[in-house]
């Protein structure tokens, strides 16, 4: 039986696991965007927070994912449910690219534009929403793109703690020493990463000012 | 109070010093009175403190000592946003918003101020005409304009909400000589009509003589002298005459 046959036969389960996978990644990215973009903005305004915030996000990135899942297990409420735990871990991984790109994007806005805007009497809030964020949107989306691709890959490991997702097939296949089962998880995960990469790459290009 | 008319000066510097956090002094004891409707040119070499002086007027910087008054009121007593909206600001790098069309750039402050759309549209058309731009450029993005056109848009944007004061920081410095002289003439014609209080910064003596009703020479953060163009070139002050001497064969504005 070839791999396509196998996937076709198990399409219901693969679809369900793909849905779980999407859910884990989608919720994590959403939370990371909600937290990461404001943090990125914050450190452009408060340079003293720059090192501690970027530094912490950086350290998280260096923790091996299995270890991070393990560390979070004893955390109350979070540790109760594998899904919550996986989402928290993925969110933490997604934060660095989001914070960093928001910071770089805003810092990259031409100072002459800000000088003109401030000089003509725009408030800090108007400058942020009408000038700084639109002009750095491309760079920020590039951060979302990197974070998403990282999370699609890392989410496969969430299966190790029972959070579901396409990793289930990969771990099952590893246990059974069956490549076909591994591929049935890996192929949809890779496709998901590719689609996210292409779509967000397109968006990034559209939002980058010429 | 202004000794000629009893009205307040448009802008007044009283013993203003400005120091950086590290203690370096960029301006020292600046006393300067600018009359409503005049074009005061601040002339000086690069790094003399001209931009610093301008930024003290719209409170992008705050004086370390002394006081800057706009329309008779200390800038620190103005609401800073209101202050800036009554002062047009044109900089050498122009700083047009690259993601906005020309009309959105010009209409931004009127829009923020809540003008009705019809009034904004007619104001944009009026301003384009005023600065000598084809109404057809309204829908273009700044990158689709020439340097001279961009600077005209910068002036139109600064005039959008009809501020009584205009600060211009080497606005024509980056343009080629022909375009620059076109814009200088356009500025003179425009100022003839509008009679704004203009503080115009330049390092170019010719430009100062052509545009200024008075010229203030600033050197290393000090105001050296302030004269009408006719007197400026014949001043006996050594710093003035050495600045003038650097521009051989330049005379006062031809009448
Ligand atoms: N924020 C700053 N930090 C350090 N040096 C500055 C700063 N702003 C201005 N300067 C210095 O102060 C001097 C005066 O600057 P500026 O007012 O911009 O001069 P000008 O506009 O006449 O060329 C220059 O030597 C400039 O390098
Ligand atoms: Mg300057």
Domain ranges of chain B: 93-163
Whether residues B109 and A121 touch (CB distance < 8 A) is answered with yes
Calpha distance B18→B120 (Å, rounded): 38
pLDDT at B253: 60
B184 reaches A (C-beta below 8 A)? no
Q: Please report, for residues A76, A156, A193, B201, the alpha-carbon distance to residue A164 in angstroms, rounded to integers and kept in the order given.
A: 20, 8, 17, 67
Which atom in ligand 1 lies closest to the alpha carbon of residue B218?
Answer: 22
- Per-residue tokens: B238: 């050594």
B98 reaches A (C-beta below 8 A)? yes
Cβ contacts of A164-171, under 8 Å, gap ≥ 24: A164/A17, A164/A20, A164/A21, A164/A24, A164/A82, A164/A83, A165/A17, A165/A20, A165/A21, A165/A24, A165/A86, A166/A14, A166/A17, A166/A18, A166/A20, A166/A21, A166/A192, A167/A21, A168/A17, A169/A14, A169/A17
Q: pLDDT higher for B175 or B5?
A: B175
B104 reaches A (C-beta below 8 A)? no
Residues of chain A with pLDDT below 50 are: none
Q: What's the sign of the alpha-carbon dihedral B175, B178, B184, B190?
A: negative
3-class secondary structure, A75: coil
Average of per-residue pLDDT across B208-237: 94
Average of per-residue pLDDT across B178-191: 94
Order of strands, edge to edge, in the sheet holding B65-70? Answer: B25-34, B11-19, B65-70, B73-74
pLDDT at B4 over 70: no
pLDDT at A80: 81
Ligand 1 pocket mutation, candidates B21, B50, B52, criterion most atoms within 8 A of CB: B52
**Residues of chain A contacting B84 with CB distance shorter than 8 Å:** 118-121
**Of the candidates B58, B88, B97, which has its C-beta nearest A131's C-beta?**
B97
| Distance in Å, CA B233 to ligand 2 centroid | 23
Provide the Cα torsion B103, B105, B107, B113; round to 10°: 160
Whether residues A209 and B82 touch (CB distance < 8 A) is answered with no
- A–B CB contacts, 8 A cutoff, strictly below: 61
Query: Are A24 and A86 contacting, i.e. CB atoms less than 8 angstroms apart?
Result: yes
3-class secondary structure, B146: coil
pLDDT at A156: 95
Whether residues B81 and A123 touch (CB distance < 8 A) is answered with yes
Which atom in ligand 1 lies closest to the alpha carbon of residue B45?
Answer: 22
pLDDT tens for A97-106 read 999 999 999 9
3-class secondary structure, B27: strand
Ligand 1 pocket mutation, candidates B51, B61, B174, B224, criterion most atoms within 8 A of CB: B51
β-bridge mates for residue B169, sequence order: B91, B201
pLDDT at B164: 96
Whether residues A112 and B94 touch (CB distance < 8 A) is answered with yes
| Distance in Å, CA B220 to ligand 1 centroid | 10
- Per-residue tokens: A18: 């793909």
Question: In three state form, how does the secondary structure of B201-251 look?
Answer: EECCHHHHHHHCCEEEEEECCEEEEEECHHHHCCCCCHHHHHHHHCCCCCC
Calpha distance B82→A123 (Å, rounded): 10
Q: Cβ(B51) to ligand 1 under 6 A?
A: yes
Q: Cβ(B192) to ligand 1 under 6 A?
A: no
Calpha distance A72→A49 (Å, rounded): 25
- How near does any CA of chain B get to the CA of A135, in Å? 7
Whether residues B93 and A112 touch (CB distance < 8 A) is answered with yes
Q: Cβ(B44) to ligand 1 under 6 A?
A: yes
Average of per-residue pLDDT across B123-135: 95
Nearest CA residue ID for atom 16, ligand 1:
B49
ipTM above 0.95, yes or no: no
Q: Cβ(B184) to ligand 1 under 6 A?
A: no
**Of the candidates B89, B112, B143, which has its C-beta nearest A116's C-beta?**
B89
Calpha distance A151→A33 (Å, rounded): 13
Calpha distance B164→B198 (Å, rounded): 9
Q: Cβ(B92) to ligand 1 under 6 A?
A: no
Calpha distance B169→B181 (Å, rounded): 16
Whether residues A126 and B60 touch (CB distance < 8 A) is answered with no
pLDDT band at B255, cuts 50/70/90?
very low
pLDDT tens for B30-61 read 999 999 999 999 999 999 999 999 999 999 99
Query: Are B72 and B164 contacting, i.e. CB atoms less than 8 angstroms apart?
Result: no
**Residues of chain B contacting A209 with CB distance shorter than 8 Å:** 98-99
The residue of chain B with its CA nearest to that of A134 is B99
Closest C-alpha among B193, B232, B163, B213 to residue B34: B213
Calpha distance A198→A188 (Å, rounded): 15
B158 reaches A (C-beta below 8 A)? yes
Calpha distance A182→A29 (Å, rounded): 25
Calpha distance A129→A44 (Å, rounded): 14
Which atom in ligand 1 lies closest to the alpha carbon of residue B201?
Answer: 21
B109 reaches A (C-beta below 8 A)? yes
pLDDT band at B251, cuts 50/70/90?
low
pLDDT at B6 over 70: no
Cβ contacts of A200-206, under 8 Å, gap ≥ 24: A200/A141, A200/A142, A200/A144, A200/A145, A200/A148, A201/A145, A203/A141, A204/A138, A204/A141, A204/A142, A204/A145, A205/A138
A123 reaches B (C-beta below 8 A)? yes
Closest C-alpha among A104, A91, A110, A134 to residue A40: A104
**Of the candidates B58, B99, B143, which has its C-beta nearest A119's C-beta?**
B58
Q: Give me chain B's average pLDDT, please.
A: 93
């Amino acid at each position: 039986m070839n791999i396509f046959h196998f996937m076709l036969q198990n399409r219901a389960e693969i679809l369900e696991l793909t849905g779980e996978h999407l859910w884990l990644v989608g919720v994590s990215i959403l939370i990371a965007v909600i937290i990461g973009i404001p943090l990125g903005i914050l450190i452009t305004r408060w340079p003293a927070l720059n090192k501690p915030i970027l530094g912490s996000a950086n350290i998280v990135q260096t923790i091996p994912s299995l270890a991070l899942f393990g560390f979070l297990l004893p955390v109350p409420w979070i540790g109760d449910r594998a899904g919550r735990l996986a989402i928290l871990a993925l969110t933490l991984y997604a934060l660095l690219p989001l914070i960093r790109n928001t910071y770089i994007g805003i810092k990259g806005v031409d100072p002459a534009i800000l000088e003109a805007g401030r000089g003509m009497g725009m408030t800090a809030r108007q400058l942020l929403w009408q000038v700084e964020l639109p002009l750095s949107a491309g760079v920020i989306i590039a951060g979302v793109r990197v974070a998403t691709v990282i999370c699609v890959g890392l989410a496969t490991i969430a299966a190790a703690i029972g959070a579901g997702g396409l990793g289930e097939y990969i771990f099952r296949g590893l246990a059974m020493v069956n490549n076909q089962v591994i591929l049935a998880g890996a192929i949809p995960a890779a496709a998901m990463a590719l689609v996210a990469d292409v779509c967000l790459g397109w968006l990034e290009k559209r939002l980058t000012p010429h | 109070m202004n000794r000629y008319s009893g009205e307040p000066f448009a802008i007044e510097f009283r013993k203003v010093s400005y120091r950086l956090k590290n203690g370096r002094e960029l301006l020292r004891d600046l006393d300067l009175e600018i009359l409503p409707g005049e074009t005061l040119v601040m002339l000086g070499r690069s790094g003399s403190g001209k931009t610093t002086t301008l930024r003290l007027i719209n409170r992008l910087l705050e004086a370390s000592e002394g006081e800057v008054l706009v329309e008779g009121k200390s800038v620190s007593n103005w609401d800073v946003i209101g202050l800036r909206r009554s002062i047009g600001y044109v900089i050498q790098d122009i700083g047009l918003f690259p993601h906005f069309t020309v009309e959105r750039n010009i209409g931004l402050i009127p829009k923020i101020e809540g003008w009705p759309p019809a009034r904004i549209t007619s104001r944009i058309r009026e301003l384009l005409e005023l600065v000598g731009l084809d109404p057809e450029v309204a829908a273009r993005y700044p990158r689709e304009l020439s340097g001279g056109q961009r600077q005209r848009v910068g002036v139109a944007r600064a005039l959008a909400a009809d501020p009584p004061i205009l600060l211009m920081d080497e606005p024509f410095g980056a343009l080629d000589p022909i375009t620059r002289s076109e814009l200088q003439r356009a500025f003179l014609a425009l100022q003839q009509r509008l009679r704004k209080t203009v503080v115009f910064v330049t390092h170019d003596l010719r430009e100062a003589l052509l545009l200024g009703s008075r010229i203030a020479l600033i050197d290393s953060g000090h105001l050296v002298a302030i004269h009408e163009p006719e007197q400026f070139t014949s001043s006996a002050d050594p710093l003035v005459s050495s600045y003038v001497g650097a521009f051989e064969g330049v005379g006062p504005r031809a009448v």
